Amino acid sequence: MDLKFTQRLAELDWLRVILILAVFLHHVSMPFNGGNWHIMNRESSKVLGDIMVYFEQFRLPVLFLISGVGSAILLSKISIAKFAKERTLRLLIPLLVGMVFVTPPQSYIENIGEYESYWQAFPVLALKFSTMHLWFIEYLIVFALLAIPVSKLLSSYVGVKIISIFEQLSMRSYGLFLMVFLLIALRVSLKLLYPEDDKKIENLSSSMFYFFFFIAGVIFIHSQSIWLKILEHKATNFKLLLISSVLFYSYYYSPDLSEYLSLEIRWSIWWIVCCLVAWSATLTIIGYAQYYFRKTPKWLKTSNELIYPFYIFHQTVIVVVGCFIINWQASIELKLSLLLVSSFLITSAICWLIIYPFNLFRVLFGLKTRKMNRQNAPSVNNKKVKNDAA
């Protein structure tokens, strides 16, 4: 393994926070995009929906790629046993707690007419163990376990050869972009076999799509050369993103083609243009993040820690607060703004005032426990000694 980075990868710290906030903005906008979500406003904005459909192509894929990077780095520093324990504490426990206590309010509000009260509904909803938006954590648990044999393979003789192939590919300005053809083949073939849009782990058209990005992160970080070539070729990848975006919206706004193309072919074209945007955007974002985000300020370290429980709670807060706001007589812009500000403040308050200070809640929601400030301990003891001597 060629993990020779001597400094913390600041770009990963920045991207985690930015992308989770992007997920937050996406969910805040969901009641107003004309789709079918837990709560929906009477009026909707087509423009908002047209913008959201573009950004959802790469927001989570980039998150999975940096998760793959993080898993590979962690596996290079600690034993497999410690890695499995760490992932269990930080992923499995929050998932279980989230399914029992965090997601039930969403189900209750979505089916509020079926129950007399939330407390009457809670036992039933809690025992359903619904992941809701926490499917992301479920995926990470499975992917983290799979990262163990993958990292072992990449450290072997065969793995060195595999890394060498990707290093040679990365030498060309457009080389890593060619991986999109593998992504397209994977996406289209599995979508034809598993056409469902749900995020269940057994839905291979979903899980394998995101696993592609996760494994790409594991592979890329195994070679400093590959990682730095993504930085070097950022402008080329940005041009490819622009071309992919034009193709994406050209097909998105194309007239009805049902008279000329079968449903399977039309869907296949859609998945192709989505993959083009997803992969070109991922390479572009990683490249420019390396260029612009070179330091991790102190506030970002704290934000990086709290962004995990923020993700766990944000959608439930949005749904609970939003179910009141969408019934007000106000414009979409005003409702969206109020929901954005109120849900952000409430979710942040939960993380800062309830999760951050207390070790019990920190463990339950995936944070490391806080240790006593050792610098203060000796001063107290010294003071006690002086008092005893007096």
- pLDDT tens-place values along the chain, 390 residues long: 455 555 679 999 999 999 999 999 999 999 999 999 999 999 999 999 999 999 999 999 999 999 999 999 999 999 999 999 999 899 999 999 999 999 999 999 999 989 999 999 999 999 999 999 999 999 999 999 999 999 999 999 999 999 999 999 999 999 999 999 999 999 999 999 999 999 999 999 999 999 999 999 999 999 999 999 999 999 999 999 999 999 999 999 999 999 999 999 999 999 999 999 999 999 999 999 999 999 999 999 999 999 999 999 999 999 999 999 999 999 999 999 999 999 999 999 999 999 999 999 999 999 999 885 544 444 444 444 344 433
**In angstroms, rounded to a whole number, what is the distance separating the alpha carbons of residues 93 and 365?**
7
Q: Could you tell me the end-to-end alpha-carbon distance of the chain, in angstroms, rounded to an integer?
A: 60
Q: What distances in angstroms separate CA 50 from CA 196, 252, 302, one per listed residue?
A: 21, 9, 34
- Do 102 and 308 meet the contact criterion of CB atoms below 8 Å apart? no
Contact, 242 vs 285, CB < 8 A? no
Rounded Cα distance, 353 and 9, in Å: 28
Contact of 307 with 367, CB cutoff 8 Å: no
Four-CA torsion 71, 74, 76, 78, nearest 10 degrees = -130
Q: What is the pLDDT of residues 34-78, one digit of tens each?
A: 999 999 999 999 999 999 999 999 999 999 999 999 999 999 999
What phi and psi values does residue 329 have, to the nearest 5 degrees? -90, 90
Distance CA 65, CA 220 (A): 9
